[in-house]
Amino acid sequence: MALPFEQARACVIQEVGQALAARRPATEELETLTAAGRVLSEDIPADRDYPPFRRSARDGFAVRAVDLPGDLEVIGEVRAGSLFEGTIGSGQAVEIMTGAPLPEGADAVVMVEHAERRGERVHIARTAKPGENFGARGMEAAQGAAVLRAGQRLGFAEIAALAMVGRTRVQVYRQPRVGIVPTGDEIVEVHQQPEPYQIRNSNAWSLTAQVARAGAEPRILPIARDNYESTRSAAEAGLQCDLLLLSGGVSAGKYDIVERVLADLGARFFFDRVAIQPGQPLVFGTACNTFFFGLPGNPASTMVTFEVFARAAVDLLSGSSDTPLPFLRARLEREVRQHPGLTRFLPARLSPDGASIMPERSQGSGDICALARANAFVVTTPDREVWNEGDDIRVLMK
């Protein structure tokens, strides 16, 4: 029986997560500037308070709130990167720039737009509240507090946080090695000229791009032909990696022998069919202490099943504490019909403003051109037959 989409994805996350609870991925140290896309294996504490001083959020005048409204004596100026050495007393103000430290004695900043400078004095006609227009010391992070946690993937903001606290090197989890085995007698290498009855090895190349984008190290292995010996040899080589992806050979045809080969290698199967389209004959299991996915061989099926199932395993094997699958919502620009009972992933183009989505004209799960034109997938739910033009519908970015 085919598992519902959500149940199958939860199974992947649960099984991989449980295995990793007993054996975490190996770690390595990298220069921070080369660590983007990797996953932290250590907590990163703040080396001091952030901000390390009371920091002005506006250009204006540092004042005592109790003195306003009123005419104040301007006793100096302070800008970012400098320090006002004195103390603001009764009836006094200091001109201050955004990012500058608040002088001693001041408890508010009045924006320059609300002040009238008159030589060495400034007239402020409004009141101010203590704490207005400046950030308190340590409000972003107190010294010793974690600014980043192990399990976070390093993007540009995380790299900035590492730079902020002075970390030029960082501990990360090692990238998992993902073996990619295309299967089928009809497949030839990309540089070859195929016969009319053959196709080039596009699935291995699309999976390589998807694996690399997910932060893992892809390894394309030789094509497994539609016989037991070739498929077993390829599977054994792939199971030396941290994750094995086999593309094709998992349907019910006479020469679809991937499951038999894996069973002979001692595989434990968690599921072998999922109620989605494309991609129903999806196999997930473990053999020789390595998780594997038998992905359907049609290009759309291969791409979709990697993105919504296998990528979660890659995230976890990379050390990530998160396995996001962020669905958006958009207005449907053309009617969609389906047989109920399946979650469908249809290639589509999301409008530049993200408000509406148009399904692509596709000739089926082998239509790579339609997939290349798309920038997203329309995602249906299994409980409906029709979505009308103008209906709100789920969207998954490609």
The percent of residues in the chain predicted with pLDDT above 70, rounded, is: 99
The single-letter code of the amino acid at 314 is: V
> pTM for this one?
0.89
Q: Are residues 245 and 359 in the same domain?
A: no
State the number of CA atoms in the 13 A half-sphere of 137 facing the CB.
11
How wide is the angle at C-alpha 185 spanned by C-alphas 225 and 293, nearest 5°? 55
Q: Are residues 42 and 144 in the same domain?
A: yes
Please write the tens of the pLDDT for every residue from 235-268.
999 999 999 999 987 765 555 789 999 999 999 9
Q: Is there a domain that residue 38 lies in?
A: yes
Q: Is there a domain that residue 230 lies in?
A: yes
Q: Are residues 335 and 367 in the same domain?
A: yes
Q: Indicate the residue among 270, 286, 317 that finishes a domain.
A: 317
Q: Are residues 311 and 287 in the same domain?
A: yes
Kindly state the average pLDDT of the residues 52-78: 98
| pLDDT for 24 beyond 90 | no
Q: Is there a domain that residue 322 lies in?
A: no
Give a three-class secondary structure readout of 317-353: HCCCCCCCCCEEEEEECCCEECCCCCEEEEEEEECCC
Q: Are residues 146 and 185 in the same domain?
A: no
Q: Are residues 206 and 312 in the same domain?
A: yes
Kindly state the average pLDDT of the residues 58-62: 98
Bridge partners (DSSP) listed for residue 106: none
CATH number for 364:
2.40.340.10
Please write the tens of the pLDDT for every residue from 320-346.
998 989 999 999 999 999 989 999 999
Q: Are residues 194 and 308 in the same domain?
A: yes
Q: Are residues 295 and 226 in the same domain?
A: yes
Total domains, the chain:
4
Q: Indicate the residue among 289, 317, 345 that finishes a domain.
A: 317
What is the β-pairing status of strands 243-247 and 290-295?
parallel
Kindly state the average pLDDT of the residues 192-210: 93
- The alpha carbon of 38 is separated from its chain's Cα centroid by a whole number of angstroms, namely 11
Candidate from 43-52, 216-225, 312-321, 364-373 with smallest mean pLDDT: 364-373
Q: Are residues 201 and 282 in the same domain?
A: yes
Query: Residue 310 corresponds to which tokens in the numbers above?
Result: 């296998």
- The alpha carbon of 281 is separated from its chain's Cα centroid by a whole number of angstroms, namely 27
Q: Are residues 186 and 310 in the same domain?
A: yes
Q: Is there a domain that residue 365 lies in?
A: yes
Please write the tens of the pLDDT for every residue from 267-310.
999 999 999 999 999 999 999 999 999 999 999 999 999 999 99
CATH number for 256:
3.40.980.10
Contacts of 129-135 with CB under 8 Å at 24 or more apart are 129/65, 130/65, 131/107, 132/65, 132/108, 133/56, 133/57, 133/58, 133/60, 133/108, 133/109, 134/54, 134/55, 134/56, 134/57, 134/58, 134/102, 134/108, 134/109, 135/51, 135/54, 135/55, 135/57
CATH number for 168:
3.90.105.10
Q: Indicate the residue among 273, 299, 317 that finishes a domain.
A: 317
Q: Is there a domain that residue 88 lies in?
A: yes
Segments forming the whole domain that contains residue 164: 28-49+139-173
Please write the tens of the pLDDT for every residue from 155-187.
999 999 999 999 999 999 999 999 999 999 999
